[in-house]
Amino acid sequence: MTRPSTDSYADSATRFPVYFVSHGGGPWPWVDGMREQFARTEQAFRQMPQRFPAKPKAVLVITGHWEAEAFTVSTAEHPSMEYDYYGFPEHTYRIQYRAPGAPALAARVRELLGAAGMESAEDPRRGFDHGTFVPMALMYPEADIPVVMLSMKSSYDPAEHIRLGQALVPLRDEGVLIIGSGLTYHNMRGFGRPTSTPVASAFEAYLNDAITAPTAAVRNERLVHWEAAPGARLAHPQEDHLIPLMVVAGAAGDDVGRRLFVDQAMNVAMASYEFGTVAEPSE
């Protein structure tokens, strides 16, 4: 198979918006009972492609389920599956999402990071984790859009991840959809507890104030200091599911963000955000 050159991701006619999505719990679309809890999320994910200016050439997912010592891109032409969850029905360990990879896009990402003075690596074995295949399977069930994953850096430095996003801005003009996949609340001991409801809501309100700030400088400053938010460490004892938002904020450039939707599941608010010009979906 002949690999396309990195130039195949140039010359797009329009700029794509960027997204942070709260991807929900485990393989919920394939689990009776859980799927009903995330009905609002399912509806929104299925409608998201209507908001894009065109069908993307590829999707780059920064997933809260992958971290490495250096920013790392997946390079498999046919990615495998990563069943990175526990205690779910047996059939959820046989889910397949057969979207192709995009080695040319992976190379382009590394090129952009190198130009920004950022070290990177590649992983030819990395498969689709549920932070990737859950939203993608709902958005593009035909699995006909190439998908590349990009890891977080294990330091979780928010400013560094914002800089990462800033290096990726050119992709928005090259037909690539950038998605950060995590959760606005991720405390495994707090899910399902009524006492977590006000914590999740207060923390999400801080995030929403940050992403809707009138300038990128104000937005990014608030996100860098996210630990000052009400209930920050109760909402995120570890920030792996929050850091993808930092990357998206960097990739947003000067675009002001907005809530895409908020779902209420497992007693907590789970919000998703978008940045950039979008087409309103038809009813």
Q: For the segment 115-146, what is each residue's pLDDT rounded down to a tens digit?
A: 999 999 999 999 999 999 999 999 999 999 99
Structural domains in the chain plus CATH codes: 15-275 (3.40.830.10)
Q: Stretch 197-217: mean pLDDT, rounded?
A: 97
Q: Which of 42, 54, 68, 58 is nearest to 15 (CA)?
A: 54
Whole-prediction pTM value? Answer: 0.94
pLDDT at position 194 over 70: yes
pLDDT-based confidence at 193, cuts 50/70/90?
very high
CA Rg, the chain, in Å?
17
Order the strands of the 18-22 sheet from edge to edge: 120-123, 71-74, 147-153, 58-68, 176-182, 18-22, 268-275, 257-265
For residues 203-231, give the mean pLDDT. Answer: 97
- What's the chain's average pLDDT? 94
* C-alpha torsion sign, points 232, 234, 238, 240: negative
Centre a 10 Å sphere on the Cβ of residue 133 and count the other Cβ atoms it contains.
28
Alpha helices (H) in 58-215, listed in sequence order: 103-115, 130-139, 158-167, 196-211
Give the relative orientation of helices 243-251 and 216-224 as an angle to the nearest 10 degrees: 160
Q: How far is CA 24 from CA 18, 35, 37, 209, 246, in A?
A: 19, 10, 10, 22, 19
pLDDT at 4 over 50: no
Write out pLDDT tens, residues 88-119. 999 999 999 999 999 999 999 999 999 999 99
Helix (H) or strand (E) holding 93: none
205: helix, strand or coil: helix
Of the candidates 59, 77, 70, the residue with the CA atom closest to the CA atom of residue 4:
77
pLDDT band at 280 (very low <50, low <70, confident <90, very high): low
Q: Is 1's pLDDT higher than 50?
A: no
Confidence of residue 2 (pLDDT cuts 50, 70, 90): very low
Residue 12 has pLDDT above 70, yes or no: no
pLDDT at 279 over 90: no
CA–CA dist 276, 255 (Å, integer): 5
| pLDDT recorded at residue 40 | 96
Token pair recorded at residue 177? 């959809």
What pLDDT score was predicted for residue 78? 98
pLDDT the model gives residue 6? 42
Instruction: Give the whole-angstrom CA distance, residue 99 versus residue 140.
Output: 9
β-strand partners of 58: 176
